[in-house]
Amino acid sequence: MSYARPHAGVHPVTHLWRKITVTDLGFSSATRVENGKLLIDKGELTALLRSDPNIKDVQLTIARPGDPVRIIPVKDVIEPRLSRIPGYPVFPGVLSAWDPDSDGIPSGEIVSLCGMVVTTVGSIVGFQEGIIDMSGPGARYSLFSGMHHLVLDISVKEGTERHEHEKSVRLAGFKASDYIARSSLDGPLSSGTLETLYNPADPGFHGSGQSGGRKRVPGIAYLYMLQSQGLLHDTYYCGVDVKKMPPRRIVPTEVLFGAIVSGNCVSACDKNTTYHHQNNPIILDLLRGHGVDWDFVGCVITNENVTLGDKQRSSTQAAELIASLDPDGVIVSKEGFGNPDADLMMNCSKIEAHGIKTVLLTDEFAGQDGASQSLVDSHPNADAIVSTGNANEVIVLPPMERVIGDDRVITELAGGSNKCRLPDGSVAIELQALIGSTNQLGFERISSRFK
């Protein structure tokens, strides 16, 4: 039995998502997609990236699924995309000026190059960066092992301050992604798969009973917690550091256009790279089931703070925004661990105080034996939690034939130690060091079950 989309007279923001699959990468004299292979003008892209005054050199390298390759220390992973909406670019506010309080995002088309990513590495900025293994046991813990990578190995000039170092590498990834998308997708397109995504037309309305033979479906909201603790722990919405913003509602499909991007060096296991934001599975699943299995009544983004006062203020504002959507239930995801656990529990308790049920997604740091306290904070109403894995679990990674980046820093990564290198060249390291292994948006294979 179908459920009609609410308020037939209201036109929701609708986005057509065209996905063009890339089956291989290579270098050529002109950037283009040819028979599924993305060819990249190495000289042109390198010159573009070297225009940053902080960047000393850039090496472009290709890594393919199954290669005996380790990429380290990874800073960000990005999927190239092109906006076909005039006036609304990809990465709004990052590569071009954009006011998040303007008229908002109109309906239109977004095009993705799927199956390949731009990945940034280089000298370590903060110890909370990570590893992607393209084969071996580590590959099981990362969806990125199944993708083709254009790796930007970036070195910065002597004396570059850490925050400027992070910014230059971050922007290089966005510039490369934008260059690839514009060069290969800017023109008439007839290939690829198409998906239409309907955003909620009226976030304050959801089915409240049976009407005209249509079934009642629950109203579901999403509270999207973004890392914003500063000190290389930052996330950006339309170019604005979210620690400078109060909680706010967003049009869910804004994530497809890179409205939310990573700028942090938090532990690799639960870091949301820009790719994770671009392909947030919670948002996509809620949109795909909207009006059929549930009403997706809206998405609220909120920050993760350092001080108690800021945590209290943001969690109160976030709970009030969620309550204004009048949902039956709320999904809450977070990024990072430790300090953000307190934000998670405040958000949970204050939303539940409005009479709204919550489901929380979080990973655990329960010690290498799994016997320690999983979260640093809790609340009696946090009784519906989905675990995305124990980041302290140890995995042994064999040596790889080739390293892109610098594996000497492996002992410095969160999850590593000065004793993690084994005599045979293998590395015994916590899952914490693997990019996305316990991602709290539900991307990876680790989950939980009752016995």
Per-residue pLDDT reduced to its tens digit, 264-284: 877 899 999 999 999 999 999
Range of weakest confidence among 122-136, 168-182, 198-212, 296-310: 198-212
Are 141 and 445 contacting, i.e. CB atoms less than 8 angstroms apart? Answer: yes
Is 90 exceeded by the pLDDT of residue 171? yes
* pLDDT reported for residue 103: 67
Is 90 exceeded by the pLDDT of residue 2? no
Are 153 and 61 contacting, i.e. CB atoms less than 8 angstroms apart? Answer: yes
pTM of the model: 0.93
The string of pLDDT tens digits covering residues 125-159 is: 877 789 999 999 999 999 999 999 999 999 999 99
Nearest Cα neighbor of 222 from 385, 332, 326 is 332
DSSP E strand stretches across 165-305: 193-198, 219-226, 233-237, 240-241, 248-250, 260-264, 295-303
Nearest Cα neighbor of 324 from 342, 306, 291, 299 is 299
- Structure tokens that stand for 54 in this block: 């902080």
**Which range in 143-147, 197-201, 228-232 is most confidently predicted, on average pLDDT?**
143-147
Is 90 exceeded by the pLDDT of residue 46? yes
Q: What is the mean pLDDT of residues 227-244?
A: 90
Q: What is the mean pLDDT of residues 324-352?
A: 94
Higher pLDDT, 58 or 445: 58
* pLDDT reported for residue 93: 92
Split at pLDDT 50, 70, 90, the class of 105 is confident
Q: What is the mean pLDDT of residues 288-300?
A: 93
Mean of the per-residue pLDDT values of the chain:
89
Are 447 and 364 contacting, i.e. CB atoms less than 8 angstroms apart? Answer: no
Split at pLDDT 50, 70, 90, the class of 11 is low
Nearest Cα neighbor of 106 from 127, 83, 79, 130 is 83
- Residue 396's CB is within 10 A of a number of other CB atoms, namely 14
Residue 265 falls in the annotated catalytic set: yes
Split at pLDDT 50, 70, 90, the class of 5 is very low
How many percent of the chain have pLDDT more than 90?
73
Question: Which of 265, 269, 348, 420 does the annotation list as catalytic?
Answer: 265
